[in-house]
Amino acid sequence: MFSTASAAAPKKPEPTELELDPKYDHYDFPTTSIEEREGHPGFVTPTQQAQVHQLRMMLESENFKGKLDTLTLLRFLRARKFDVVAAKKMIQESQEWRQAMTIVEQEDKQLAGKPRLLSKANKDPLKNPPPQPLNIDEEVKIWDHDGKFKRVLSDYYTQFYHKTDKDGRPCYFEKLGGVDFAALEEKEYTSDKMILNLAVEYERMVDPRLPACSRKAGRLVETSCSVLDIAGVSILRPGKIYSYIRQTSAMSGNNYPERMGKMFVINANRWQKGAWTIVQSFLDPVTASKINVLTGPEAKTELPKHIPIENLPASFYGKCQCEGGCELSDAGPWQDPEFRRPAWWEKNDAATTIENKPTEIEKATADGEAPIVEDTKIESKPIESVEGAGAPTSSEAPVTEETKIPA
């Protein structure tokens, strides 16, 4: 049997209508979540809704330049257990990262554990920082538009989105074992470029993939279903793959919270499953319940229960064999004209710009501070997770819901 969290299933909350802000919320897809749990859109308590308003007003008062729509604020609030102050800090730090992309250095002994600018240099990114910091909102518009980077990368490192699970989530497949970093670097495919590629893929999952999946499902889809093949990943000889995992885990957890719906770590050996048994005891029960660590035979039986076998690539125990290979097909609702709409980054900038000025608030306090919601507390929290890649995490890469977990 595979490992799962032992926590009892939470009581199903009563549906509630999500309060939308006419200034920031212009969704053309459903806003009631497939995740029927408290704190998710369509299942928000009055106190949680008030905390959304409070967080928005606090950010507006500081001239915050990032997104202030309700679904974004809810995700960051859930990631911080509805601690408004902590969520505000997280979203502000994430916005800083979006404007100047950084990663935590892992290999240089003098700089290990310290952030540095992400670089598109062809060789030695540490010694060749970018002339200007990379901005993810700009990179998503221009990165790999001809698909060449992805085509070459797929020969050495399998990672791709492909169709949906039974709940309508986009599926992400990745093989972490046997990644030939030396061969990739010879082709000037540095780990920095691969991390940038992963960040752009996150952006393209957020839009247009998730909205298209939501339209097809008839419910809000905010999360992905990830299948990570860890065959060939060694606990005893971690190698460069673990540095890469720590960097991507920190990036995804800090900047793409609450994007993991389900995760299947497959082809695990008994040592890896044993390590997972230890790791899951440190996780938030809700997060742990989303992750299954499976041997090969277990995966062959379990995956089709969650992902239609016709949607599973043949190399992941399924029956799908897309023409030209599933890895490069990008098949899914986001390719269907019935469900696809232009992503925000495909539109004219002038049509998508919103100025984040403070809204009018009746009975505002004299000094302009947002009113405090009584139930908002700052308190210690359990570790939230292990996604967006990894397993044994180092002290430099905090374990969050977007962390992957090969072990």
Q: Which of 235, 222, 248 is nearest to 159 (CA)?
A: 248
Domains of the chain and any CATH numbers: 112-352 (3.40.525.10)
Q: Helix axis angle, 46-61 relative to 70-79, nearest 10°?
A: 100
Backbone angles phi, psi at 152, to 5 degrees: -70, -45
CA distance readout (Å), 140 to 197, 255, 339, 341: 9, 15, 21, 16
- Alpha-helical (H) ranges within 143-284 are 148-153, 181-186, 191-204, 210-217, 239-255, 270-280
Q: Report residue 376's pLDDT band, with 50, 70 and 90 as the boundaries.
A: very low
CB 230 within 8 A of CB 267: yes
Say whether pLDDT at 337 is over 90: yes
Say whether pLDDT at 364 is over 90: no
User: Residue 312 and residue 291: Cα distance in Å, rounded?
Assistant: 18
Per the prediction, the chain carries an average pLDDT of 85
User: Residue 190 and residue 243: Cα distance in Å, rounded?
Assistant: 13
User: Residue 34 and residue 220: Cα distance in Å, rounded?
Assistant: 6
Q: What is the pTM (predicted TM-score) of this model?
A: 0.84
| pLDDT at position 7 | 45
Mean pLDDT, residues 144-156: 94
User: Residue 280 and residue 287: Cα distance in Å, rounded?
Assistant: 9
Mean pLDDT, residues 276-288: 79
Residue 57, sorted as left (phi over 0), alpha (psi -120 to 50) or beta, turns out to be alpha
**302: Cβ–Cβ under 8 A, 6 or more apart, which residues?**
2, 264, 292, 294
Q: Report residue 355's pLDDT band, with 50, 70 and 90 as the boundaries.
A: low
Lowest mean per-residue pLDDT among 217-231, 261-275, 305-319, 359-373: 359-373
Mean pLDDT, residues 202-218: 98
The encoded tokens of residue 175 equal: 């093989």
CA 348 distance to own-chain centroid: 26
